[in-house]
Chain A
Amino acid sequence: MYVIIGGSAAAIGCIDGIRQVDKHGAITLVTDEAKFNYSRPLISYLLEGKTTEEKMCYRSDEWFLQNNVNIISGVKAQKLDAKAKTIALSNGDTLPYDNVLIATGSRPFVPPTQGYDTVLQKHTFMTLESAKALAASLNKDSRVLIVGAGLTGVKCAEGIRSLCKEITIVDLAPRVLPAVLDEKGSAMVQKRMEDNGVKFYLGDLVEKFDKTTATLKSGTVLDFDVLVMAVGVRPNTQLVSDAGGEVNRGIIIDNACRTTLPFVYSAGDCTEGYDAVSGEKRMLPLWPNAMLQGETAGHNMAGGNADFTQGMAINASGVFGLHMVTAGSYDGESYVEEKDGSYKRLITADGVLKGVIMVGDVARAGIYTSLIRKRKPLSEIDFELIKESPQLMAFSKGDRAKQLGGEV
């Protein structure tokens, strides 16, 4: 019996991975969400009207049936017993497993703030349920305060822009998307958002709330109707830590996506796995990594032999039509180009491309991120050519014959 705890990207990847090796073995998926078959990163697009609940289904209900997945939804996994190889569920059942995947993701982090309990309308922004609750609390006169200028806060602002009157974002960091962009990139995104009516108080924080007002450290007092807390997330690691598995910030996994507990695997936002760019273990809470880790874990749970060593930070997003792609690390020598309203920065170190930031024109960005992922020595390509624009022409004839002349 395969058991998967969680129902998002890593879980889907795991089902794919199991079925690559074992076509029939019974799979049970346990998720605490009543409706789980949707893509979480799409919740802002749902509010914006760019997708529908129906189209948000990542895989069809039939797909779960065809893959013989028994679904237990709206039920929480409460305790992992790694010796007995069982999981205790919130509905009172105890589920035995041969191999289990912990794909519990993360939860919104709400910092303790004076007066938070008095706020009349407050939300987080992670699940479909939270997005629907937020939308239901908005009307054309609503003034919204978003705390957090990371991807969650920024995408939330875009999603609800046309559903409310005013949006103000507060963040302790001096710029938007500080975790993925540099100063220039942040400034471009902030400008685009300001052009669309979003106001910012950066380098500031909320000291106290009082029902519908927030007092900032700077002394500024902001009135709002609806509050969204988008400060950050915390990984859900407790099942593994309580069972005695190694947990740092996230659940520690090896390249096969095994935890330190036998027959217990983990994948996705709750983990700390190998980062191809730094060569160290770190949290890489991003959709592609979750899918690939899940697939690797599933493959191995079914008796296969797979390794995932190409994890890296890679982000693609857009705000009010301004696209951005960021990947890798930004420590090294930079090549910077600003052209036709677009910005590009390539970071090299140790003879390889380490990182990329592109804002505006992001066409063919994958050629750069692939160089980072594969640690391709720059001596093997025409770097002068490829830094102008991402292209296969910069590769050797031999590389190109492999890329374009055969199966890949």
Chain B
Amino acid sequence: MKRVYVNEKWCLGCHLCEYYCAFANSGKSDMVKALKGVTVHPNIKIEEAPNGISFAVACRHCKEPICVRSCISGALSVTDGVVTIDESKCVGCYTCVASCPYGAVLPGEHGAVQKCELCTQNGGVPSCVEHCPNKAIVFEERGRA
């Protein structure tokens, strides 16, 4: 299946992926209204080092996701390979946060956790990929690296 992959060689550290992610998941149609004056809580996050290295991290949609097996409420599940979160079932215990080896399941704003669902609810093409100006984030099928 197609997943989001990052190439740190091409990442500019511009954080546009974070803003587009937050906008895509805001449910709003106007980007300015969605983001102006708000602290964004995107599902993809840039890591940066002083030496100039930067890259984006979002859910890897592991083939055997330990977050799903760790979830005490059944809020996390796998649908067609995509690890999804049912916020209404999540009680915010953060066992998934304590388990994800990539730090990609994030404490959310309203008690439940949040995570990348590959924009399956937002048209199917991940917004971070679509708007990465240097194509450092791609959406494609790959095997193990």
Contacts and interface: CB of A to CB of B under 8 A. Distances in A.
Contacts of A400: 8, 55
A84 interface: no
Given A42-B91, A391-B103, A408-B62, A288 B70 contact: yes
A391 B98 contact: no
Provide the main secondary structure of the chain B interface.
loop
A408 B49 contact: no
Contacts of A58: 73-74
Nearest to B69: A291
A42 B99 contact: no
Nearest to A290: B69
A364 B57 CA distance: 11
A130 interface: no
B144 interface: yes
Contacts of B37: none
Nearest to B75: A55
Given A363-B107, A407-B63, A402 B72 contact: no
A304 interface: no
Contacts of B60: 403-404, 408
Contacts of A287: 70, 72, 95
Contacts of A369: 98-99, 101
Interface in B59-104: 60, 62-63, 66-67, 69-70, 72-74, 88-89, 91-103
B3 interface: yes
Contacts of B8: 397, 400, 404
Given A364-B103, A391-B47, A325 B98 contact: yes
A162 to B, nearest CB: 16
A392 B47 contact: yes
Contacts of B106: 363
A314 interface: yes
A288 B57 CA distance: 24
Contacts, number: 142
Contacts of A56: 73
A327 interface: yes
Contacts of A364: 97, 100, 103
Interface string A362-398: 1111110110000000000000000000111100010
B3 A407 contact: yes
B124 interface: no
Interface stretch (A97-105, A182-190, A206-214, A315-323): A315-323
A152 to B, nearest CB: 14
Q: How large is the interface on B (under 10, 10 to 19, 20 to 34, 35 or more residues)?
A: 35 or more
B69 A295 contact: yes
Given A42-B91, A393-B49, A57 B74 contact: yes
B105 interface: yes
B55 to A, nearest CB: 7
B89 A55 contact: yes
Contacts of A363: 97, 103, 106-107
Nearest to A45: B91
B69 A292 contact: yes
B88 to A, nearest CB: 6
A378 B73 CA distance: 34
Given A51-B89, A362-B97, A406-B145, A392 B103 contact: yes
B5 interface: yes
Contact of A288 (B7, B49, B69, B103): B69
A400 B53 CA distance: 12
Given A42-B91, A391-B47, A366 B73 contact: no
B69 A367 contact: no
A407 B95 contact: no
Interface of A: 13, 39, 41-42, 45, 50-51, 55-59, 287-288, 291-292, 295, 314-318, 323, 325, 327, 362-367, 369-370, 390-393, 397, 400-408
Interface of B: 3, 5-8, 47-49, 53, 55, 57, 60, 62-63, 66-67, 69-70, 72-74, 88-89, 91-103, 105-107, 111, 142-145
Given A55-B73, A366-B101, A397-B8, 4 more contacts: A45-B91, A369-B99, A405-B7, A407-B145
Pick the 4 closest A-B CB pairs, nearest first.
Answer: A406-B145, A364-B103, A370-B101, A366-B100
